[in-house]
Structure 1
Amino acid sequence: MSDPATGNIYERAAVRNATDAGEDTAPLAGPWTLRGVATEYTVVVPGHGRWLELVSWGPPGVAHGPSPASYTGPTPFLTAGDFAPVEYATDAVRPFTGADLVVETATGDRRVSWRYQQAETDGGQLRVTFADPVTGLRAAHCYRIPAGTDVVERWVELTNTGEAPLRLARAGSAGFCVPTPHGARLSYQWGQWAQEFQLAHLDLGHGQFSIGSSQGVPGHSFVPWLAVQDRAEPDGPTWGVALAWTGSWQIVAEPDTGGLTRVRVGRRLVDGGLDLPAGGGITLPVVAGAHSDAGLAGLARAWHRYQRQLAGDRLDRARPVLYNSWEATEFAVDADNQLALARIAAELGVETFVVDDGWFIGRHDDRGGLGDWTPDPVKFPAGFDAFIAQIRALGLTFGLWVEPESISPASRLYTEHPDWVYAIDDRPITPIRNQYLLDLGRPEAAEFVHSTLDGLLRRHDIGYLKWDFNRPRTESGRPGAATRLDLDGAHVANLHRIYAALRRDHPHVTIEACAAGGARTDLAMAAHADVFWPSDNTGPLDRLAIQHGFLHANAPHLLSSWVTDAVGLFDQRPRSLAFRFVLAMAGVLGIGADIRHWTPRQRAEAASWIGRYKQIREVITHGEVHLIGGPDQPRCAVQYTAPDGDTLVVLAWHTGRLDGHGLLPSRPVRLPLRGLATDDTWRHGDDTYSGSHLTAVGLPVRWTADHDAELFVLRRA
């Protein structure tokens, strides 16, 4: 057992807990507590030994008392497992209220059940193993809280030790139990292309809430993230779950009638059940659970700390200010127009220049070229390396857009390897954006993608890669396959392997994950990619709502944001260049406008904003984030507190109408800051404020038609 002060795992004295009515209530094993910075998670095996269950999940010491999740009373017309706070349940344990795992034998029988075998603690990881004596199925329930976080990672390792094959008809990764005695308040993010990460809330007293994706990627419609609160305390204790899986997924929340909401998280098996042969094993995707006593904003900070830990040493490298050429030239790429853009970008203080779609042979529009990743000699008549050298001579790192998993029907690659795409024998393939999708689970296709990207990075001086993915999977088939395949799982596994190989062999390259905007953002990608492209919509007020939702689930170092001339699709009210820059500074600053048409005054203003951003980006990247108000409120700002606590950066935006100001009596909007000591003194320019004033009253800002955004940098006096 470990010392609880170290923040890992320890075993408490026995406590009474939930079991079948009438059975021995003494625990068979445990309880075990995993501890984070400000969270503990305690589980136990009840005396009957049929499952592992939650004792408590919350602030330190929360387990010292009766479990808020336990129940030992009657369960009319249901089983005890249907009401117990079970951590991971087969359909034998929870036959009526939702199992996490459903296993079929070769004869079609279900209802696999198991009993406790052993528990192991090693290096801060807890493994509690159960086994089914009939089928030989073993399940290790695995837990870990990474150091410095308040996030518990959970996953299950299944092994078939029997002599007959098994099929997993459902293969969730975890069930989380949250006390909601007054009913559940759920927060989730919905969207569509160009309108991702829209934060919404739902009161769920009864019934079931489900979100997910069947597209082979997390998708635009929903984010694999959910927050749960008791309806009576919307600013109090908050629990969240998020999935580390870059394929199809599902999250289901369902309250019982006794004040407990259970959340099931895991893969959605769009290709049918998973085969588990005799002697075989499978590790299911990691699900992360987070807790905060400070509402959704506090939960966001818990996710931010965790994702920074996922980034590891890569977070020490500053994300560059970039320029991307897509909105300026689209497919009409050539050396001359790209160099014209790059020269201006360098003058503005941009650090990386990214050539987007249209640089390779056959790519004049979206009908050709994908798969034939050779620079077009017509577009780069002096040679591609000579072009890159000219970019580098301007002091810029060179970046390139790719979409390696897609293939154009008119490409040479498709002519040579038509069997490499997802297809069903004798059925037509569904084109989306005039392209098909490579079956990345096929070894030779995966090797092609890896060798293509690795080759580009080895042959050319490339320091930034924008990896795009512009279509979901429509066909669940591999031509000529003799057996049913887990296509979704194989695609995701090879995608992650390719990322890992590129990371190993090209550690200097920054990789941006994009999928027609924000359709591929999950915790697994947060561990592999440096930044996310959250949306193709760069209109200022549209983007403000997108980024507000994004920052609830993702850290600022993952937020790539551009300054463009776009007006937006949903809210076309005009906003200043300052608004667009302050908005893009909320994460990783980029520019995507056609800067050839900017006036000298606009270019000078842009250079000033870029210079200011470089002074604060370390605070943006590493600082503690407090979300103030929102895009639908008069107050809308984000506060970043530097790790040493001596600097505050506040980005603020005017969200309302811009007319009528100065005609009637009014007072400044106040932005209440968070996390400050009351007796501290803060300075902004010639103004000084107490921490008490900034917290209780707020930072004043007066919006006008010419002043619709502001960057504040406050220093501790």
Structure 2
Amino acid sequence: MIQIKLPFIHLKTNAFSYVIHITQVEKIEHVYFGKPLIDDDFKPLLFKPTAGVGSAILYDRNGQNLNLDFFPSEYSEFGKGDFRLTPLELHMPDGSFVTDFVYHSHEIQKGIYPSNDLPIGKENDSVESLILTLKDTKYDLYLKLIYTLYEDSDVLGRRAILVNNDETVHIRKLMSMMVDFVDCDYDLLSLQGGWIKESHKEITPLQRGTLLLESTTGASSNRVNPGFILMKKGTHEDFGSCYGFNLIYSGNHYEAIQVSNHGMTRVMSGIHPQAFHYELAKGQSFETPEAILTFSALGLNTLSNQFHHFIHEHITPRQFKGLLRPVVINSWEAFFFDFNESKLVSLAKKAKKLGVELFVLDDGWFGNRNDDTSSLGDYTVNLKKLKGGLKRLSDTIHKLGLKFGLWFEPEMISEKSVLYQTHPDWVVKVDGRTPSLGRNQWVLDLTNGEVRNYILKSMKQILNETLIDYIKWDMNRHITDAYSKHVKHPGMFYHEYIKGLYAILKDLTETYPNLWIESCSSGGNRFDLGMLSYTPYVWASDNTDPIERLKIQGGLSYFYPLSTISAHVSLSPHAQTIRTTPLSTRFNVAAMGCLGYELNLKYVTKAEQTEIKHQIELYKIYREVFQQGHFYRFNSPRKDLTLFQVSHNQTHILGFYQNGYDASPNTDVIQVKNLKPNQTYSIESVQQTMPIQQFGHLIAHAIPIKLNPNGYLMHKIGQYKRLNNATESYVVSGAALMQGIPVIQQFSGTYYNEQTRLLGDFGSQIYIIKEVGETHA
């Protein structure tokens, strides 16, 4: 709901109120962002500077003055006395950087104020927009601040549009949003990392000065995700006040959190100003990406679920909203580049028997692509590997009862390629300089319409000739040598590149609306709301080690729902860590996302294949819960334990993940969130097995005959037989489960029996909790 009683504007949802004040000097004051307000007398909430401060510069207008440096602004600017970071920097026609935007007009619009070429939230009946227009006092230059209230998701969208009706203006910085808080008692939660260590949660206390979260790689980056949270001291998963921010954008981004010398906190988010320069001629306008804001007074889990609801309702492409993601097997870790049609079909047949639904052929199917040094940019099928071509392979896969998917890397080009020999000018580079290589490849210039047309024509030819249900869209390097003759100014390159990418994705998704697209960029290098506007989910990381994935998927869960997180089970030990983990844990972690397998079933024993079949059967039963449920993290009772919960309708699934094992460990107590206290629930652990080899020489103490634990016979038995771990089953009240109940003791160094939980290092367990009936008083 948007209410206007000038000089106040009130934007309200069930979770928060957001209040703006138009001051007497016609500057826009940020008044309030927090718990919903029922009183519409906002005057007591206004900032109250009465004594003045030293070194003040006073802004004069309408017979009033204002110290802009000591003022909670809604959108500040450079040159009129605010010496903090500003969201706006323009090179004006008079040669200065001074601007002076004041209130001009406002309007409320049902639905979403349209965007020309950037993805924004999708509307429904709950959405309305405020257009707050400011005008420069010297030039015919307008700044439209767009506020879109997604009331059903408790989310506020903010973006800015600069409209020039005067002489040419040069934009050097234009943030999507800015907000000032009058205090600084916050911790910053951000997602930091790099390749194979994406999206690790990091908490930083605010202090005077500026914290920057930024990407300059040309993508939203695996280094710092554009999502971040400011939380009051003491806030945790289920308690406290917190503010969440994100950006619907896939390029270079910039988030600044600055604490002033008077303890005020300024937050801004938008396109990174580094190497950014946009020429705006008369009659033109420039639009920023949409920033997303939300607030929770009930801790981080509530904040996350507001983000998740927003993505499900307003970001995910409509045709995939609520559609359950298929169970995938991907060929990459099975074969890398070394495959032929026979190997692929053999893997597909085995995967089908285990319950897999979609077979994906990854890199290496085109040109002379036998390693990563050649053929990117070419789309001719390698007939040495695929003698019958893609169509025959696709037809064979479909006849098996599987869907077929194919890997593409459309944004890249290899020097050893037909495309490069034909169009060396299509490479992103600076004339006279040798462009830097990354993974033996260069970047194609997506600001060039010919390049975009070539990519679309090439991909459409394959999609039209071959039945393809899914594509994996990869992008395996950062952008360097950023320059193009197809943009007016070099400072426009990065943004125009991303707009070019969006144009390709828009065309492709409109032409093939039912085509699943999984975004990937060396793993999670482009995990953002911009890509999710076109692709329903993202490959979260090239790291498939489940212990590392707990940190990666746990970090992503603060901003993104499980339906967007692609997670696969691979062989162990893991290529990224050389860590050995149980098959059960690999599944138990991957199930907290969109499940897939990435392994060569040739190296999986019959006993393990049986286990995988049971895993997939379980996942399919509860797929809607895993992919569409409400997700919760726990304040872990110990540092080596991670707990996740996902709930949908009357079913709750609890994941218990042990990162290490202590001798003679403490008793484990498990809790379940958000149950009905007076309801009865069943709780059952999922049956899982252990390899006999896990016991090593100790197996001699558990069986009546003495066998060499490293001998042929034990090895042979282990291929067909695994040992059952303890299972648990209880019926208990919701009140007790929310309080916490003890579970079966873990092995404590002696006296193993069938009712002992044997988890050990990196062990885990999934519990299924269902509502069964009323508890009698």
State TM-score, norm by structure 1. 0.92
- Alpha-carbon deviation of 1:672? 2.2
Residues 1:265 and 2:308 are matched in the alignment:
no
2:443 pairs with 1:440? no
Displacement of 1:573 after TM fit? 4.8
Q: Distance in 2 between the 1:281 and 1:698 partners?
A: 60
The aligned counterpart of 2:669 is 670
Distance between the aligned counterparts of 2:278 and 2:486, measured in 1?
Answer: 19
Aligned equivalent of 1:418: 424
User: 1:72 Cα deviation (Å)?
Assistant: 2.4
Report the secondary structure of 2:224's partner residue.
coil
- List aligned pairs for 1:21-36, cutoff 5 A: 29-36=6-13
Q: Which runs of 5+ in 2 are unaligned?
A: 58-66, 111-127, 685-728, 747-756, 773-777
2:381 is aligned with 1:380? no
| Corresponding residue SS for 2:25 | coil
Q: Tell me which amino acid in the other structure corresponds to 2:30.
A: E
- State which of 303, 310, 314 in structure 1 corresponds to 2:307: 303
Task: Verify: 1:637 aligned to 2:643, yes or no.
Answer: yes
State the match for 2:297 in structure 1.
Answer: 293
Separation (CA, whole Å) in 2 of partners of 1:630 and 1:69: 40
Q: Is the 8 A contact 2:196 2:576 kept in 1?
A: no
Structure 1 residue ranges without an equivalent (≥5): 1-7, 13-28
Q: Contact 1:141/1:157 (CA < 8 Å) preserved in 2?
A: yes
Could you say if the C-alpha distance between residues 62 and 492 of structure 1 is closer, same or farther in structure 2, counting changes exceeding 3 Å? farther
Aligned to 1:224: 226
Contact 1:542 1:568 in 2 (8 A): no
Q: Is the 8 A contact 2:241 2:299 kept in 1?
A: yes
Residues 69 and 260, structure 1, Cα contact 8 Å, conserved in 2:
no
Instruction: Map 1:117-128; keep pairs closer than 5 Å.
Output: 117-123=104-110, 124-128=128-132
The whole-number CA distance in structure 2 between the counterparts of 1:632 and 1:458 is 54
Distance 1:179 1:653, change over 3 A: farther
Does residue 324 of structure 2 align to residue 318 of structure 1?
Answer: yes
Alignment of 1:264-283 (within 5 A): 264-283=268-287
Q: Distance in 1 between matches of 2:10 and 2:18?
A: 5
Kept after mapping to 2: 8 A contact 1:556/1:587:
yes
Match of 1:493 in 2: 499
Q: 1:189 to 1:626 in 2, by over 3 A?
A: same
Cα distance change of structure 1 residues 200 and 371 upon mapping to structure 2, 3 Å threshold: same
1:11 counterpart (4, 25, 34): 4
Q: Say which SS state the counterpart of residue 11 (structure 1) adopts.
A: strand
Alignment partners' CA distance in 2, 1:108 and 1:499: 39
CA–CA separation in structure 2 for the residues paired with 1:456 and 1:270: 38
| Cα offsets for 1:632-671 (capped at 9, x unmatched) | 72442211121x3x111212211222x63xxx4742x223
Which shifted more, 91-100 or 587-596? Answer: 91-100
Query: Are residues 372 and 268 of structure 1, via their aligned partners in 2, closer, same or farther at CA, if it must alter by over 3 Å?
Result: same
Counterpart selection for 1:185 from 184, 187, 212: 187
Aligned residue number for residue 17 of structure 2 = 40
- Conserved? CA contact 2:319–2:513, under 8 Å: no
**Which residues in structure 2 correspond to 1:305-704 (within 5 Å)?**
305-309=309-313, 310-311=315-316, 312-479=318-485, 483-484=489-490, 486-568=492-574, 573-629=579-635, 633-642=639-648, 644=649, 646-657=650-661, 660=663, 664=664, 666-667=666-667, 669-685=668-684, 686-698=729-741, 700=743, 702-703=745-746, 704=757
* Alignment match of 1:169 (pick from 166, 172, 188): 172
Per-residue CA distance 1:417-442 (angstroms, 9 max, x = gap):
11111111111111111100011011
Structure 1 counterpart of 2:92, from 89, 105, 117: 105
Distance in 1 of aligned mates of 2:610 and 2:579: 24
8 Å contact kept, 2:194–2:223: yes
1:358 and 1:570, CA in 2 relative to 1: closer, same or farther beyond 3 A?
closer
Q: Deviations over 1:600-641 (max 9, x none)?
A: 110010000000001111112221111124697244221112
Is residue 31–residue 45 contact of structure 2 (8 Å, CA) maintained in 1? no
Q: Distance in 1 between matches of 2:81 and 2:257?
A: 15
* 1:135 CA displacement: 2.2
1:176 maps to a residue whose letter is V
TM-score (norm 2): 0.85
Q: Which amino acid in 1 is paired with 2:4? A: E
Q: Which residue of 1 aligns with 2:705?
A: none
Contact preservation (8 Å) 1:46, 1:53: no
Given that residues 56 and 69 in structure 1 are in contact (C-alpha distance below 8 angstroms), is that contact kept between their aligned partners in structure 2? Answer: no
Hey, what does 1:710 align to over in structure 2? 765
- CA offsets per residue over residues 677-698 of structure 1, 9 Å max, x none? 3222211244112121111225
Q: In the alignment, what sits opposite 1:56?
A: 33
Q: Find the structure with the greater CA-based Rg.
A: 2
Instruction: Give distance in 2, aligned partners of 1:67 and 1:396.
Output: 64
Secondary structure of the residue aligned to 1:466 is: strand
The aligned amino acid for 1:10 is: Q
Corresponding residue number in structure 2 for 1:212: 214
Query: Which amino acid in the other structure matches residue 163 of structure 2?
Result: T
- 2:178 alignment partner AA: G
1:97-148 superposed Cα distances (whole Å, 9 cap, x missing partner):
1110011124431111122111100101001101113222101111012241
CA contact (8 A) 2:377 2:419 kept: yes
- Aligned-partner SS, 2:634: strand
Shift of 1:377: 1.3
Q: What secondary structure, in the 3-state scheme, does the structure 1 residue paired with 2:152 have?
A: coil
Equivalent residue number for residue 16 of structure 1 = none
Identify which of 76, 83, 98 aligns with 2:54.
76
Mapping 1:113-152, distance limit 5 Å: 113-123=100-110, 124-152=128-156
Q: Tell me the number of residue pairs that the alignment of Structure 1 and Structure 2 aligns.
A: 685
CA contact (8 A) 1:548 1:631 kept: no
Partners of 1:418 and 1:455 lie apart in 2 by: 23
> Which amino acid is 1:185 matched to?
D
Which is further off, 274-283 or 254-263?
254-263
CA positional deviation for 1:575? 2.0
2 CA distance for matches of 1:681 and 1:103?
63
1:305-346: CA deviation from partner (whole Å, max 9, x where unpaired):
111112144122210000001001001132111111111110
Structure 1 residue 566: deviation in Å? 4.3
> Residues 34 and 144 of structure 1 are in contact (CA less than 8 Å); yes or no, is this contact kept in structure 2?
no
Relative to 1, partners in 2 of residues 1:671 and 1:71: Cα closer, same or farther, differing over 3 Å? farther
For 1:32 and 1:177, locate their aligned partners in 2 and report how far apart those are by CA, in whole Å: 16
Shift of 1:184: 2.0
Aligned to 2:200: 198
Which whole-Å deviations, capped at 9, do the CAs of 1:252-295 have from their partners, x for residues lacking one?
10123444321111111343321111111011111001111122
Q: Deviations over 1:32-91 (max 9, x none)?
A: 222234222222211210235343333354876566672424243245222322121111
RMSD: 2.1
8 Å Cα contact 2:448/2:486 also seen in 1? no
Residues in 2 aligned to 1:541 and 1:280: alpha-carbon distance in whole angstroms: 51
Q: Determine the C-alpha separation between the residues in 2 that align with 1:96 and 1:51.
A: 17
Q: Distance in 2 between matches of 1:423 and 1:563?
A: 39
